[in-house]
Chain A
Amino acid sequence: MADRETGRDRRQVLLGLARTGLAAGGFGVLYHVLRERPRERSATPGIFDWRRTGGQRAGAIARGSDPAANVRRAVAALGGMERFAGRGETVLIKPNVGWDRVPEQAANTDPDVVAELVRLCLEAGAARVVVADFPCNDPRRSFTRSRIGPAARKAGATIVYPPSLGTRPADLPGVLAGLEVMELLPRADRVINVPVVKHHSLAKATLGMKNWFGVIGGGRPRLHQGIHRAIAELGAAFRPTLTVVDATRILVANGPQGGSLDDVRRVDAVAAGTDPVALDAWGASLLGLDHRRLGFIAEAEKLGLGLGDPSSLEELGTA
């Protein structure tokens, strides 16, 4: 029986309805997949320990005008990257890509340092190297202008940042409770923390343990209310396989994002090691700070995260 107005019979109308329904359903599913991506809701344990046992030295400092060579020498002095990145493993490299600044402004980790670490991990047999951060500025601009994105990609790493990188809940302890973490943390076998040495008006210095701000999702600004305790608790919650402190250029004032080249000093050094507290103490000394009087280093020692003594690091000198 055809409809008088449109000339369609029941069969055609039903087919039309079915097609429309299918299209609408498809849209709904697509929307769900794209936008409301099923997020991991169950909290992961809040202590992330990626350390490897063994090794004699707390760390080593290499100096020279080539940042990549410094990285190679410092890591070699610790026994080579094979010690930290195993065959077939996924390695997460966490540089400081906080700001929409160029390398010369020393607000982010040096791109050559990051790229060299990527190469060393791949040479050591890592299956996948991921470079990730939650920048303070626009992520795409920060990764591009810091040159960390292009350099690490060229070296063979996967680059991830928001909005394609999200957060997931974690049972973080103490002052960190309730904050979410970078969603790929539980999937990483090994993690290398690669801070840059910078001034910070509240904590005095932003170094390795402070760099963990960059794996915390929204709400991290409130951690500044008790910054020293918060930094130490971050150090307790995130225990990296390796810490590499970039002091190719350091920012001595107007940190942590600087801007003026007058605030940048060239130190041409890179330190690598497994004692995050000793490495932070070394970085603080470069800024002319007395590490024994720095709140977050004292707090970290109290938590047993390491020894705030830069002399435990081996000085390799200039090549």
Chain B
Amino acid sequence: MIWWRRLRLLYQLAFLALLLWLLERLAAGDPRTLPYDLLHHGDPLTAAGLALAHHAVPTALGLSLAVVLLTLAGGRIFCGWICPLGTLQELVARWGTPRRLRERSGRNRWRPLYRTKYVLLALLAGWAVLGSLQTGLLDPLSLLARGLAAAVWPLLPVRGPVPGGWIAGALLAAVVLASVWTPRLFCRAFCPLGALLGLLARFSLFRIRRIDGRCTGCLLCVTDCQGADEPLGDHRVEECMVCLECIDRCGEHALSYGFSSAPSPLPAVPDLSRRRALGALAGGLVLGPVLRASGGGRTARSATAIRPPGSVPENEFLDRCVKCMLCQQACPTGAIQPALSGVGVEGFWTPVLDMRRGWCEYTCTRCGEVCPTGAIRLLTADEKIGRNDDPPVRIGTAFIDRGRCLPWAMATPCIVCEEMCPTDPKAIWLEEAVDHGRDGNAVRLQRPRIDPARCVGCGICENRCPAGEHAAIRVSTAGETRSAANRMLVGS
């Protein structure tokens, strides 16, 4: 084994361990400000998606420029050495690896199916141009973090279950387990980030070179090839993940990785006819409006789609959110959950708050701290609760259901919502009243009333209301700070 193979494995395991450790610390509520979104910030697909959809890229995503430069210099090193999802696939692929070299090489030859990722990239790009950022659905970092947050972390005792978590979990499991059949099937065939880096890798300075005279055409180079880029003939440099396994395998020393002074004439790559690429782009341009119109996420406002505090207005939110669910992982009360419905097709798996699972802790700003794209703004605690006479950041307003409320409907004392209300002065105030029960005896009651000018929509009242799962006080998005259209009070 040549030293770089060990080195590559070391790099891969280190980045995988880094991601897992950061996510674990995030879920455990580590008070330190660790760079939880470090890997997500180095994602050129997110940066490109935001540039297309939002016409601006947050400075934090500048790290992705480093990945772009790395790719221009040496090819898809990110895929072969860094990407944790690629590492997981590679590890799992070992299970299915046949012992016979010939069968092994059969799994690592290029297939027409591997063009699909460029179609997907074009589709997502077309969609993004129209302002709907859906790269997160297939982005390897989002896909992995989401799957872990939804289906792996809930296995641990510290996190609660996630609604529909199995969907993200099944996607992750399918991606990883497909590698038993074909190594890195997802990377080779479906990964839009891999496709984007592949386009850049065509211009890479360093690449696999072949000394024609020495090659005997034995195909050994393909044995452990990660990218299915076939270094034997016309090397598909855009598919190469720089795993360098081919160099190790070649008995004739015909292959090397180095500076290519005379760049080989670009093959007709990406291995996709211009017609198909344009077709896919057009498909995205059509699919975008159709799904937006029929999915109805932007115009048909939802009362229950309560976005995390500091979220930007809905249109911009959908332009920015990559569905990585780091915010879900970060939320200390478990209120942030993926939306499976009620936010349109575009909003599928974007974060919303479910007040029966948690509530928005009054001075907590954790979700904004970890959002890699600025879909949730970073707030200070003072900004959030509106100290210094500024208005607080509202995520909605609580409404009392007088038909379910104990003191309003059933002449039974209860002040739990008022007790829980964290604002100062409390948004929930108590009105003294005398009611009578069935026996006709007078009961002195304190009935909760809401001062909508004070309510921030944190939902701890809904969370603690004793009136069963359908609480007698419920938060809806009305009055949320981020929306100019969703105002309730005059002058607010």
Q: Which of B99, B100, B361 is in CB contact (< 8 Å) with A141?
A: B361
Q: Which of B29, B364, B422 is in CB contact (< 8 Å) with A259?
A: B422
Q: B157 at the A/B interface (Cβ < 8 Å)?
A: yes
Q: B256 at the A/B interface (Cβ < 8 Å)?
A: no
Q: Which of A6, A7, A221 is in CB contact (< 8 Å) with B466?
A: A221
A contact residues around B483 at 8 Å (CB): none
The 8 closest A-B pairs by CB, nearest first: A259-B424, A138-B332, A221-B416, A7-B99, A222-B466, A202-B415, A221-B466, A7-B100
Q: B464 at the A/B interface (Cβ < 8 Å)?
A: yes
Q: Which of B58-66, B138-146, B271-279, B406-414 contacts A (4 or more CB under 8 A)?
A: B406-414
Q: B420 at the A/B interface (Cβ < 8 Å)?
A: yes
A contact residues around B364 at 8 Å (CB): 100, 138, 141
Can you list 17 contacts pairing A with B, beta carbon distance less than 8 Å? A5-B98, A6-B100, A100-B361, A100-B422, A137-B362, A138-B333, A140-B332, A141-B332, A164-B158, A202-B446, A221-B414, A221-B465, A224-B414, A224-B416, A225-B414, A257-B419, A259-B422
A contact residues around B446 at 8 Å (CB): 201-202
Q: Which of A6, A37, A221 is in CB contact (< 8 Å) with B157?
A: A37
Nearest B residue to A12, CB-CB: B99
CA distance A277 to B361 in the complex (A): 34
B contact residues around A8 at 8 Å (CB): 99
Residues 444-466 of B at the A interface (beta carbon under 8 Å): 446, 460, 464-466
Give chain A nearest CB distance to B39 CB in angstroms. Answer: 25
Q: A200 at the A/B interface (Cβ < 8 Å)?
A: yes
CA distance A257 to B427 in the complex (A): 13
Nearest B residue to A33, CB-CB: B157
Residues 122-141 of A at the B interface (beta carbon under 8 Å): 136-138, 140-141
Q: B103 at the A/B interface (Cβ < 8 Å)?
A: yes
Residues 34-64 of A at the B interface (beta carbon under 8 Å): 34-35, 37
Q: Would you give the 0/1 interface string for A157-177, flagging 1 where the beta carbon is closer than 8 Å to chain B?
A: 000000110000000000000
Q: B217 at the A/B interface (Cβ < 8 Å)?
A: no
Q: B426 at the A/B interface (Cβ < 8 Å)?
A: yes
B contact residues around A37 at 8 Å (CB): 157
Known: A140-B332, A256-B419. A224 touches B430 (CB 8 A): no
Residues 319-377 of B at the A interface (beta carbon under 8 Å): 332-333, 361-364
Q: A225 to B406, Cβ gap below 8 A?
A: yes
Nearest B residue to A105, CB-CB: B424
Q: Which of A7, A141, A254 is in CB contact (< 8 Å) with B424?
A: A254
Q: Which of A138, A140, A200 is in CB contact (< 8 Å) with B419?
A: A200
Q: Would you give the 0/1 interface string for A138-158, flagging 1 where the beta carbon is closer than 8 Å to chain B?
A: 101100100000000000000
Give chain A nearest CB distance to B102 CB in angstroms. Answer: 10
Known contacts A136-B464, A164-B157, then 20 further A-B pairs from the complex at CB < 8 Å, ordered by chain A residue: A6-B98, A7-B99, A34-B156, A34-B157, A35-B155, A35-B156, A37-B157, A100-B363, A136-B460, A138-B364, A140-B29, A141-B364, A144-B31, A163-B157, A200-B419, A221-B466, A222-B414, A222-B466, A254-B424, A258-B424
Give chain B nearest CB distance to A118 CB in angstroms. Answer: 22
Q: A34 to B413, Cβ gap below 8 A?
A: no
Q: A236 at the A/B interface (Cβ < 8 Å)?
A: no
CA distance A144 to B446 in the complex (A): 33
Q: B440 at the A/B interface (Cβ < 8 Å)?
A: no
Nearest A residue to B102, CB-CB: A7
CA distance A100 to B359 in the complex (A): 13
A contact residues around B424 at 8 Å (CB): 254, 258-260
| Dominant secondary structure of chain B at its interface with chain A | loop
B contact residues around A254 at 8 Å (CB): 424-426
Q: Would you give the 0/1 interface string for B91-119, flagging 1 where the beta carbon is closer than 8 Å to chain A?
A: 00000001110010000000000000000
Residues 241-269 of B at the A interface (beta carbon under 8 Å): none
Q: A25 at the A/B interface (Cβ < 8 Å)?
A: no
Nearest A residue to B358, CB-CB: A138
CA distance A202 to B466 in the complex (A): 16
Q: B418 at the A/B interface (Cβ < 8 Å)?
A: yes
B contact residues around A289 at 8 Å (CB): none
Q: B423 at the A/B interface (Cβ < 8 Å)?
A: yes
B contact residues around A260 at 8 Å (CB): 424-425
Give chain A nearest CB distance to B354 CB in angstroms. Answer: 16
A contact residues around B465 at 8 Å (CB): 221
Q: Would you give the 0/1 interface string for A219-262, flagging 1 where the beta carbon is closer than 8 Å to chain B?
A: 10110111100000000000000000000000000101111100
Q: A137 to B425, Cβ gap below 8 A?
A: no
A contact residues around B420 at 8 Å (CB): 136, 257
Residues 20-36 of A at the B interface (beta carbon under 8 Å): 31, 34-35
Nearest A residue to B424, CB-CB: A259
A contact residues around B460 at 8 Å (CB): 136-137
B contact residues around A138 at 8 Å (CB): 29, 332-333, 361, 364
CA distance A137 to B412 in the complex (A): 25
B contact residues around A144 at 8 Å (CB): 31
**Interface hub of B364, B420, B422, B430 (most chain A Cβ within 10 A):** B422
Known: A221-B416, A226-B413. A5 touches B406 (CB 8 A): no
B contact residues around A259 at 8 Å (CB): 422-424
Q: Would you give the 0/1 interface string for A1-24, flagging 1 where the beta carbon is closer than 8 Å to chain B?
A: 000011110000000000000000
A contact residues around B333 at 8 Å (CB): 138
Give chain A nearest CB distance to B267 CB in angstroms. Answer: 33
Q: Which of B156, B157, B361, B419 is in CB contact (< 8 Å) with A202?
A: B419
B contact residues around A164 at 8 Å (CB): 157-158
Nearest A residue to B100, CB-CB: A7
Known: A202-B446, A224-B413. A5 touches B103 (CB 8 A): yes
Q: A221 to B103, Cβ gap below 8 A?
A: no
